[in-house]
Amino acid sequence: MLKTPRDRSVALRHILKHVSRSFYLSLIVLPKPVREQISLAYLFCRAADTITDTHILPPAERRQALDLFRHQFQLPSPKVEALDALSHQLLPHQATAGEGALLRSLPACFDVYTTFSEPDQELIRTLVRTLTKGMDMDLAYFPAETPQAIRALPTSDDLDRYTYYVAGVVGAFWTRMHAAHFPALQRGDLEALCQRGIRFGLGLQMTNILKDIAHDAQLGRCYLPVTELTGLQVEVRDLQHAETLARIQPLLDDLVRMTLEHLDQARDYICELPMGM
């Protein structure tokens, strides 16, 4: 158990430095009242991402491991033996020392988590439960992870759902966590600000999806909806050929337009934040 605030701060910073690279620089300068909560939330999400990305394990095993991890947030206190079993399963397959250190530190991370207020814990629980639904979608829709077996999300609704799970929810979490600790954020329309925060996350995620179309295709995944591709008479496997990009330009134009609308909301979100919060 990390008994003192200084113990917790030192432990979190050590883990963050080894797994978050440039994001570490942002996390350590967050306002003190929310620094530990957001840093720990990041580590929990990063741990879930590590489970999802342990490609040597079959997707079904990774989904089971993800369920085991997620289940710990539904318990009054996490089961140390379950976390130890998770580490034992995953540790031999990690490519970096940082990922291994994060898995070994999960019991200590949950120790810190239990020191937070119940409202702060609930915000972190909601974030982890929601974000891991996006990871479930990745494992369910793209199990083969080879270019020969490329698959795509079925519909535009699935794309909207996926981008909310993996990014939009982060904007809501970030906003609500800060609002819980900074009264200045509670004086305006918090729900409207949360919606802009969600759009902020959606815009960033769609930017990643659009710039990574070719790279994702080589990994056997496509986030462009099958329904939209079919309307353009394009097969998913055709996306592995550069000349196909011209054929899907109308779809790309629509998605770029939507992404820019999200990012316009992101700009408004930033402008609405009170000075000297």
Residue-wise pLDDT for 49-65, tens only, equals 999 988 888 999 999 99
Q: Which residue has the tokens 């629980």?
A: 125
* Higher local confidence (pLDDT), 265 or 246: 265
* Higher local confidence (pLDDT), 1 or 169: 169
* Higher local confidence (pLDDT), 206 or 78: 206
Let me know if residue 132 belongs to a domain: no
**Hey, which residues does 30 pair with through a beta bridge?**
none
Q: Please indicate, yes or no, whether residues 98 and 164 belong to a single structural domain of this protein.
A: no
Per-residue tokens: 157? 């609704």
Per-residue tokens: 47? 């741990």
Q: Please indicate, yes or no, whether residues 77 and 153 belong to a single structural domain of this protein.
A: no
Q: Please indicate, yes or no, whether residues 190 and 112 belong to a single structural domain of this protein.
A: no
Q: Please indicate, yes or no, whether residues 147 and 275 belong to a single structural domain of this protein.
A: yes
Q: Please indicate, yes or no, whether residues 17 and 97 belong to a single structural domain of this protein.
A: yes
Residue 222 backbone phi and psi in degrees, to 5: -145, 125
Last residue of a domain, one of 52, 83, 117: 117
Let me know if residue 102 belongs to a domain: yes
Residue-wise pLDDT for 163-186, tens only, equals 999 999 999 999 999 999 998 888
Checking if the pLDDT of 242 tops 90, the result is no
Question: Whole domain around residue 246: which residue ranges?
Answer: 142-277
Residue-wise pLDDT for 201-211, tens only, equals 999 999 999 99
Pick from 177, 196, 87, 164: nearest CA to 125: 177
Pick from 222, 124, 219: nearest CA to 172: 124
The pLDDT > 90 percentage for the chain reads: 61
Please state, as a whole number, how many other Cβ atoms lie within 10 Å of the Cβ of residue 179: 19
Checking if the pLDDT of 136 tops 80, the result is yes
Total of domains in the chain: 2
pLDDT bucket at 70, cuts 50 / 70 / 90: very high
Q: Please indicate, yes or no, whether residues 150 and 198 belong to a single structural domain of this protein.
A: yes
CATH assignment at residue 230: 1.10.600.10
Let me know if residue 66 belongs to a domain: yes
Q: Please indicate, yes or no, whether residues 225 and 261 belong to a single structural domain of this protein.
A: yes
Strands (E), the chain: 151-152, 221-222
pLDDT confidence of residue 134: 97
Q: Please indicate, yes or no, whether residues 107 and 185 belong to a single structural domain of this protein.
A: no
pLDDT confidence of residue 276: 61
Cα 221 to Cα 123: distance, rounded to the nearest angstrom:
31
Checking if the pLDDT of 229 tops 60, the result is yes
Q: Please indicate, yes or no, whether residues 39 and 162 belong to a single structural domain of this protein.
A: no
Cα 97 to Cα 240: distance, rounded to the nearest angstrom:
34
Cβ atoms 153, 225 nearer than 8 A: yes
pLDDT confidence of residue 3: 55
Q: Please indicate, yes or no, whether residues 95 and 166 belong to a single structural domain of this protein.
A: no
Last residue of a domain, one of 117, 132, 164: 117
Q: Please indicate, yes or no, whether residues 259 and 148 belong to a single structural domain of this protein.
A: yes
pLDDT confidence of residue 11: 72
Cβ atoms 224, 239 nearer than 8 A: yes
pLDDT bucket at 26, cuts 50 / 70 / 90: confident
Q: Please indicate, yes or no, whether residues 150 and 274 belong to a single structural domain of this protein.
A: yes
Cα 188 to Cα 178: distance, rounded to the nearest angstrom:
13
Let me know if residue 20 belongs to a domain: yes
Stated pTM of the model: 0.91
